């Protein structure tokens, strides 16, 4: 068996996880020195930091005045569940799914909420459903960017301004990396652990005035856990959206989020974040264009994510393997680059087709991705040589 020479250059930071994602460049624990540790989140200092996080989020993302922003428990999942359990049931629902998390929301609505009037529009991994088929007289639930498939909606043009239903958008791997048209979105959710590299456990929930109106005029027929309740006496609990969180947040995590927001401001705000993610994804796109054995899982270029880039192995020798052996090959490829210390956590999501998933959000340095690409080629050639020698 002929050995393939290892590349000379290694990424300075091998962290390419799709969540929690790598910290911002230059981050050290010293960034947390001003955290309000050992203080109540309801004390002036705690509320002040939470309100600051909300205000900076609004400014950085360009969230319109009149939209509420709340910090909620249980990461993006908690934010989505709050929206589903609190808002749905007033009219029919159209669920969109083309990857694991979208399918999870379908399961919650159909099997847990057990709504009767539900239409489901699905597509396989790598594809996007026909968005012209979405019925906006219904409430519509969808992911903006499919973290586990690398497929995103290209823009918000498919959403009418005069829609009757609400649009509920899981935007956790899109916020801060893709342009979200808030005028087309009534609920937007995300977590700090994605594009800005914050710590896990906290979600952000953004509500349009239309969503607030629904909350204040509609009461779901099912019991709501305390952490889901956003109204009292038929009125929105405004404190949730002014820094009085529903449950106790980690002030350490809040400080970390403030640090990430501050870094984003310093480098040029949202345009700079979008540019960094686009350029990072471009490094992978250039590699795919010149490499025969690999391709994007997303079939159409306009739907390819610039954060959670999902790749599939298309080499005929790999495709000739059974599904189990394909999965084993991909896992071994991931293990090889991890053992070399050049890429951590780049395996495809457990429910997705066998392959690679490389995070290219704004906290990743372009130079690290450029250094990684030759290592992927080396790892593949090494594993193919092992496969052929065993044949």
Query: Do 234 and 275 share a domain, yes or no?
Result: no
What's 64's DSSP letter?
P
Query: Do 246 and 124 share a domain, yes or no?
Result: yes
- CATH number of the structural domain spanning residue 235: 3.40.640.10
Q: Is 149 a member of any domain? A: yes
Q: Which helix (H) or strand (E) segment is 339 a member of?
A: helix 323-339
Query: Do 295 and 337 share a domain, yes or no?
Result: yes
Query: Do 177 and 234 share a domain, yes or no?
Result: yes
How many angstroms from the chain centroid is the CA of residue 23?
15
Distance CA 138, CA 267 (A): 40
Query: Do 306 and 385 share a domain, yes or no?
Result: yes
Query: Do 72 and 174 share a domain, yes or no?
Result: yes
Torsions phi, psi of 160, nearest 5?
-75, 150
Number of domains in the chain: 2
State which of 265, 296, 318 marks the end of a domain: 265
Query: Do 310 and 356 share a domain, yes or no?
Result: yes
Q: Is 148 a member of any domain? A: yes
How many angstroms from the chain centroid is the CA of residue 341?
25
Q: Is 371 a member of any domain? A: yes
Query: Do 275 and 162 share a domain, yes or no?
Result: no
State which of 229, 248, 265 marks the end of a domain: 265
Residue 1 pLDDT: 53
Number of neighbours of residue 388 by Cβ within 10 angstroms:
10
How many angstroms from the chain centroid is the CA of residue 353?
18
Distance CA 277, CA 103 (A): 26
Distance CA 58, CA 191 (A): 14
Q: Is 27 a member of any domain? A: no
Distance CA 178, CA 172 (A): 11
Distance CA 237, CA 231 (A): 5
Residue 2 pLDDT: 62
- CATH number of the structural domain spanning residue 304: 3.90.1150.10
Question: Do you know the residue count of the chain?
Answer: 391
Residue 367 pLDDT: 98
Three-class SS state of 142: strand
Query: Do 280 and 261 share a domain, yes or no?
Result: no
Structural domain boundaries enclosing 365: 269-390
What are the residue ranges in the chain where pLDDT is below 70?
1-2
Instruction: Retrieve residue 75's tokens.
Output: 């990461």
Query: Do 186 and 306 share a domain, yes or no?
Result: no
Residue 3 pLDDT: 74
């Amino acid at each position: 068996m002929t050995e393939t020479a290892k590349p000379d250059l290694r990424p300075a930071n091998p962290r390419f996880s799709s969540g929690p994602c790598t910290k911002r460049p230059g981050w050290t624990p010293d960034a947390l020195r001003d955290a309000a540790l050992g203080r109540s989140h309801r004390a002036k200092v705690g509320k002040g930091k939470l309100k600051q996080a909300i205000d900076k989020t609004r400014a950085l993302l360009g969230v319109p005045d009149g939209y509420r922003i709340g910090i909620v428990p249980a990461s993006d999942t908690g934010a989505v569940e709050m929206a589903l359990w609190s808002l749905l049931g007033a009219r029919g629902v159209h669920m969109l799914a083309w990857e694991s998390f979208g399918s999870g929301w379908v399961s919650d609505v159909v099997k847990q909420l057990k709504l009767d009037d539900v239409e489901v529009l699905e597509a396989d991994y790598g594809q996007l459903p026909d968005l012209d088929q979405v019925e906006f007289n219904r409430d519509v639930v969808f992911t903006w960017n499919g973290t586990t498939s690398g497929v995103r909606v290209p823009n918000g043009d498919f959403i009418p301004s005069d829609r009757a239903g609400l649009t509920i958008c899981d935007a956790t791997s899109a916020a801060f990396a893709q342009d979200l048209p808030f005028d087309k979105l009534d609920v937007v959710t995300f977590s700090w652990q994605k594009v800005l590299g914050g710590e896990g456990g906290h979600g952000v929930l953004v509500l349009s005035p239309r969503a607030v109106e629904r909350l204040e005029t509609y009461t779901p027929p099912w019991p709501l856990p305390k952490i889901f309740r956003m109204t009292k006496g038929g009125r929105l609990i405004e404190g949730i959206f002014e820094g009085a969180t529903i449950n106790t947040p980690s002030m350490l995590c809040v400080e970390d989020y403030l640090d990430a927001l501050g870094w984003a401001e310093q480098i040029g705000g949202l345009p700079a974040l979008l540019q960094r993610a686009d350029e990072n994804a471009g490094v992978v796109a250039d590699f795919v264009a010149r490499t025969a054995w690999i391709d994007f899982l997303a079939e159409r270029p306009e739907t390819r994510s610039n954060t959670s880039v999902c790749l599939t192995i298309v080499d005929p020798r790999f495709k000739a393997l059974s599904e189990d052996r394909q999965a084993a090959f991909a896992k071994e490829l991931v293990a090889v680059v991890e053992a070399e210390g050049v890429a951590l956590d780049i395996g495809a999501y457990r429910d997705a087709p066998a392959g690679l998933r490389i995070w290219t959000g704004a906290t990743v340095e372009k130079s690290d991705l450029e250094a990684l690409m030759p290592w992927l080629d080396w790892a593949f050639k090494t594993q193919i040589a092992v496969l052929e020698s065993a044949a």
